[in-house]
Structure 1
Amino acid sequence: MLKTLARPMLAATFVTNAWATLKDPAPIAKHAEPMIERYRKVLPDWFPTDAMTLTKVDACVKLGCGALLTVGRLPRLASLVLAADLVPTTLVGHRIWESGDPEERIHFLKNLAIFGGLLASI
C-alpha cells in the first residue's frame, strides 16, 4: 500500500521537470554545455555530443521512467534508470565543490535524498 502511494510522489519531480525541459530545453542545455564540452573527447563517436540533443534525451528518459514508476510498471527498472540518470544530472547541475552557493547545496542534498528514495525502490 505504501509503495503504491510513494512511487508517484517520488516520480513527480522527474515527470514535471522533464516535461518543462522538453517544452523549453534551451536553458538546461546552456547550463550543461560546459560540462559536456569537458567530456566530449572521451565520448564514443556514435554518442550525441550537442547539448540540446543530450538535454532532450535526458528529459525523455526521465519522463518515460517517471511515468513507469508512477503507474507501477517495471518500478524497479524505472527506479534504477532514474537513479543512474540522477548522478550525472547532479554532478553537472549542482557543483557544490566549485560554488559556495547555499542554494546549490540544498539542491545537491535534495538530489541525494531522491537518490536514496530511488535506491529504496529498487
Structure 2
Amino acid sequence: MLKVLARPMLSAVFMTSAWETLKDPAPLAKHAEPMIERYRKLLPDWVPEWVPTDAKTLVRVDAGVKLGCSVLLAAGRMPKLAAFVLAADLVPTTLVGHRIWESGDPEERTHFLKNVAVLGGLLATI
C-alpha cells in the first residue's frame, strides 16, 4: 500500500521539473552549455551528424526521459526500470548542476543533498 503512495510522491519532483524544462529549455540549456561543450569535444568521429549535440536539444531529450520515466514510476508500470533510469540520470545532473565543491553556497548544498535523498528513494525502489 505504501508503494502505491510513495511512487507518485517520488516521481512528482521529476514530473514538474521535466515539464517546466520542456516548456522553456533555455535557462537550463544555458546552465548546462559549458559542461556539454567540454564533453562534446570527446565525441568520437563516427558519431552521426544527426545525433544532437546542442545544449537545448540535449536538455529537452533529458527532460523527455525524466518525464516518461516519472510517469511510468507514478503509474507503477515497470517501476524498477523507471527508477533505475531516473537514478542513472540524476547522478550526472546532480554533479553538473550542484557543484558544491566549487561553491560555498548553502543553498547549493541543500539542493545537492536533496538530490542525494531522492537518489536514495529511487535506489530503494529498485
Q: What secondary structure sits across from 1:120 in the alignment?
A: helix
Report how far residue 59 of structure 1 moved.
0.2
Give the Cα separation in 2 of the matches to 1:39 and 1:62.
21
Whether 1:83 aligns to 2:81 is no
Give the Cα separation in 1 of the matches to 2:52 and 2:39.
12
Q: Which amino acid aligns with 1:95?
A: R
Aligned Cα root-mean-square deviation (Å): 0.9
* Identity of matched residues, %: 77
Question: 1:9-48 CA deviation, whole Å, 9 max, x = no partner?
Answer: 0000000100000000000000000111111112342442
Q: TM-score, normalised by structure 2?
A: 0.94
In the other structure, the counterpart of 2:28 is 28
In the other structure, the counterpart of 1:49 is 53
In the alignment, structure 2 segments of 5+ residues that lack a partner are none
Give the Cα separation in 2 of the matches to 1:103 and 1:115.
18
Which is further off, 58-67 or 42-51? 42-51
**Which of the residues 106, 111, 114 maps onto 2:110?**
106
Question: Which protein is bigger by CA-based radius of gyration?
Answer: 2
Q: TM-score, normalised by structure 1?
A: 0.97
* Higher fraction of helix: 1
Give the Cα separation in 2 of the matches to 1:115 and 1:48.
27
Give the Cα separation in 2 of the matches to 1:17 and 1:89.
12
**Which of the residues 73, 76, 81 maps onto 1:69?**
73
Q: What secondary structure sits across from 1:96 in the alignment?
A: coil
- Report runs of 4+ in structure 1 exceeding 6 Å deviation: none
